[in-house]
Structure 1
Amino acid sequence: MTAEIAQGAPVLKVEHVSKQFRIYRSTADRLVEGLFKRQRHRLHKALDDVSFELRQGEAIGVLGQNGAGKSTLLKLVSGVLTPDAGSIARNGRITGLLELGTGFDGKLTGRQNIAVNARLIGMTGDEIEERFDSIVAFSELGEFIDAPVRTYSSGMVMRLGFAVAIHADPVCFIVDEALAVGDARFQQKCLKRIKEFRDRGGSILYVSHDINSVKLLCDRALLLAHGRIDYDGAPDQAAQNYYRHIAGVEAGSQRETPLHEGDYGALRTRIASVSMAGRHGAGTRFGSGEPVTIDVECESDQDASLTVGILVRDRFGQDVFGTNTALLEAPVRFERGSRAVCRFALPLNFAPGKYTLTVAIHSDETHVHDCQHWWDAAATFEIVGFLHSPFSGLCYVPVRFEQHAAMPASLSPAEEIYD
């Protein structure tokens, strides 16, 4: 059931929505069921009693593993599917970019598809005419705008779909993983346009596996697991719970009481403490470029060869730098009943600002494998001032500059320049 809600109400209100699908092993099973009325399918519940509200000017991220129900939720919200139970109330035009090619006719040109697709998402003839040139310009398709869409690459289809949807002047914009297609420059252009839309008071429902973009773009995040909302709240905590899910760490596999705030894992091998020290000893304030040591003290109840890692995040929760002993080709051997200090030495080549340090113990290169202990924001530190040349951005990279009267006949290889 879909209903319209009054002015001043939430842009989107989802109440107790459920959706299930019939899954057949083969097309033959579908035919047998249709002819002989014998059940040859199993039911898959993609969404189960999902409820939330999206307010004006709010951006909500939707996280979850593959199969959690994210795409089904977006299709229900956009009207592509109807719920089996519950209700979805919309207050204004909702557009978005779901699966690539949705609403496009491959036989028609890009120019013709703009008119057709814009009509499908509710734009009037006057709106299409008024914004047509802007849509074409934003898509950057050039002469390809008059070529059949079937000849487009996936990146070109994404460009055209995004250009139409964002120019529809919606109250809510839906973004799925389709933005992962295409070149980096156009992705940045799209994200900039989405931020501008949000800053003007537009609402956003954003699905992505890119945790950094969810933290940067969204005020709030939902975590879906097995078709239900497992968490609804701050993006940082939603991301933490998401990492926990993909690591396969269930509540029953942990100690009843976590060792620290923001940690999880099997804890058979665990982190007892984390400390940082620079030129003047232990502390939390360092200069940009200052060499530091990070000591991760661990204890173990098992004999195991594991990976110890560190991850630096900025004040927005964006991952800035991470490494671990697997990447460094230095596996750590733990013995039952022992304690060990794992020391990382590195220059803090980061821009001035506040940062957090996350530490972890797991198997292989990522914490997805046998996560023993993940301790989020185990330490905080601040970069104050520069110990080398100032720079813009987040990280310092050594640069050598040369000026020549004319282009030299041959340039030195990079390894010679930096020797």
Structure 2
Amino acid sequence: MAILIVKDLIKRFKCYASPADRLKEILFRKPRHREFTALDGVSLTLEKGQSIGVIGRNGSGKSTLLKILAGILLPDGGTVAIRGRVTGLLELGTGFHGEFTGRENIRHNAALLGMSREEIQAKMDAVEAFAELGPFLDEPLKIYSSGMVMRLAFSVAIHADPDVFIIDEALAVGDAYFQQKCTERIRRFREQGGSLLFVSHDMTSVKLLCDKVLVMDRGKVLGFGDPDPMVQLYNFVLAHTGTGENRVVVESSSTGAVGYGTMEVRIRDVRLSLPGVERAEVIPSGHPVTVHVDLEACAAVEELTVGIMIRDRFGQDVFGTNTYLMGERLGCRAGEHIEVRFACAQWNLGPGQYTLTVAAHRSRAHIHGCYHWIDHAVSFQVVHGGGYEFAGVARLPVELAVDRR
């Protein structure tokens, strides 16, 4: 059952060069503004119990969309149909007052979210306990850190028993302990049938929490689908940002891997090798492995960074590095062939299926100029490699000692 339906949503903002232009426009009835379209025909359907991530570059319209759904902004066109209560964790401090204490802000914010006085009273202890602010609950909000405000805001919003919970980057300001606590509470909220709209630049969190992902750019929807291909599309958008749209080439290989970039440097081959095995597809955990990346320079480039990223079967980033981060500064001449080898003395991954993404670009990240990026260039399987058995995605070199007294 659809709990939220957005159809052809449009939102425009008037931008003035100075505050005086706004007054002159009113007095002389002549336009003195430029119009910025933040949302341009955005449509979206959220089912009950579903979690949708919204990703895109800064300024793509993500926050504007969520503010309209939370009732903070009104659209200029299109329709929004919501069945049930929507609560949101948007800009920190929204709905709070700096002069009020934390406890007073709980009551006021909960009322703004539609909770009755009886509901607020019944859940006050649970909200306070989850926020873990101790004696600071009786201090004015103006002395709180941003992390403390986030604790208070999340605790109130999640205890409002929403049908749809909206989060816009706010979790990023919390400490690691409280982020994990929030993530676990969101999982429980979803298991109980709640729906989630989640905006983040943390692609690992998006893949972890979301069933589907909406990719936005310049106020429009670029794509909607499963998390892994949508994150690939987002990376492609970032490559456009760094190199210019009409310079980026997209191509697919015979293995189905998708590559894109300016192709000034091309990745010609990627393989994993074991001692005595030139091209390995099955790797025993803990054994030495070398990643080989063969490249051809189609033009002279002063800066060349070659990188790798290992992802598990869920698309989660497990490990990545590149030549720039490892302190190696490369360049190449037109027509030159280069082999870059990443040698790992112990391939300490847990048993399972993995993929390897490879990239050639400038500087430390591909947004600064992407020559060639290939998602899922290689697939491989890790199996138990002897020694002790273990659980999880990482095989740590553990030595056991037992003392008896």
When normalised by structure 2's length, the TM-score is 0.93
CA contact (8 A) 1:301 1:336 kept: yes
Counterpart secondary structure, 2:57: coil
Runs of 4+ aligned residues of structure 1 deviating over 3 Å after TM superposition are: 249-252, 254-260, 386-393, 396-405
Once the 2 structures are TM-superposed, how far is the Cα of residue 31 of structure 1 from its aligned partner?
2.6
In the alignment, what sits opposite 2:286? 289
Instruction: Report matched runs for 1:163-174 at 5 Å.
Output: 163-174=155-166
User: Is structure 2 residue 376 aligned with structure 1 residue 384?
Assistant: no
Counterpart secondary structure, 1:372: strand
User: Is structure 2 residue 348 aligned with structure 1 residue 327?
Assistant: no
Residue-by-residue CA offset, 1:325-351 (whole Å, 9 max, x unaligned): 112222334332333322211131112
CA contact (8 A) 1:173 1:204 kept: yes
CA contact (8 A) 2:204 2:316 kept: yes
In the alignment, what sits opposite 2:169? 177
Residue-by-residue CA offset, 1:265-298 (whole Å, 9 max, x unaligned): 1112111111111134131111222111111121
Once the 2 structures are TM-superposed, how far is the Cα of residue 112 of structure 1 from its aligned partner?
1.2
2:264 is aligned with what amino acid?
R
Distance (Å, rounded) in 1 between the aligned partners of 2:387 and 2:113: 54
CA contact (8 A) 2:87 2:113 kept: yes
Picking from 226, 230, 235, the partner of 2:218 is: 226
In the alignment, what sits opposite 2:83? 91
In the alignment, what sits opposite 1:204? 196
In the alignment, what sits opposite 1:266? 262
In the alignment, what sits opposite 1:349? 348
Residue-by-residue CA offset, 1:290-315 (whole Å, 9 max, x unaligned): 11111112122112241111111111
Residue-by-residue CA offset, 1:63-112 (whole Å, 9 max, x unaligned): 01110001100000111111000010000001120010111121111111
Once the 2 structures are TM-superposed, how far is the Cα of residue 251 of structure 1 from its aligned partner?
5.5
Counterpart secondary structure, 1:107: coil
Distance (Å, rounded) in 2 between the aligned partners of 1:323 and 1:106: 43
Picking from 235, 238, 246, the partner of 1:252 is: 246
Residue-by-residue CA offset, 1:394-415 (whole Å, 9 max, x unaligned): 334445677899xxxxxxxxxx
User: Is structure 2 residue 309 aligned with structure 1 residue 315?
Assistant: no
2:281 is aligned with what amino acid?
T
**Residues 257 and 360 (structure 1), Cα distance of their counterparts in 2 relative to 1, 3 Å cut:** closer
CA contact (8 A) 2:250 2:258 kept: no
Instruction: Report matched runs for 1:128-139 at 5 Å.
Output: 128-139=120-131
Unaligned runs of 5+ in 2: none
Unaligned runs of 5+ in 1: 1-7, 406-419
Distance (Å, rounded) in 1 between the aligned partners of 2:15 and 2:150: 29
In the alignment, what sits opposite 1:415? none
Counterpart secondary structure, 2:174: coil
CA contact (8 A) 1:139 1:159 kept: yes
CA contact (8 A) 2:251 2:260 kept: no
CA contact (8 A) 1:304 1:333 kept: yes
Distance (Å, rounded) in 2 between the aligned partners of 1:199 and 1:342: 45
Q: Which moved more, 1:73-82 or 1:108-117?
A: 108-117
Once the 2 structures are TM-superposed, how far is the Cα of residue 357 of structure 1 from its aligned partner?
0.5
Q: Which moved more, 1:386-395 or 1:49-58?
A: 386-395
In the alignment, what sits opposite 1:411? none
Distance (Å, rounded) in 1 between the aligned partners of 2:252 and 2:245: 10
How many pairs align?
A: 398
Distance (Å, rounded) in 2 between the aligned partners of 1:189 and 1:49: 36
When normalised by structure 1's length, the TM-score is 0.90
Distance (Å, rounded) in 2 between the aligned partners of 1:333 and 1:109: 58
Q: Which moved more, 1:18-27 or 1:185-194?
A: 18-27
In the alignment, what sits opposite 1:190? 182
In the alignment, what sits opposite 2:361? 362
Once the 2 structures are TM-superposed, how far is the Cα of residue 387 of structure 1 from its aligned partner?
4.5
Distance (Å, rounded) in 1 between the aligned partners of 2:127 and 2:275: 55
CA contact (8 A) 1:68 1:227 kept: yes
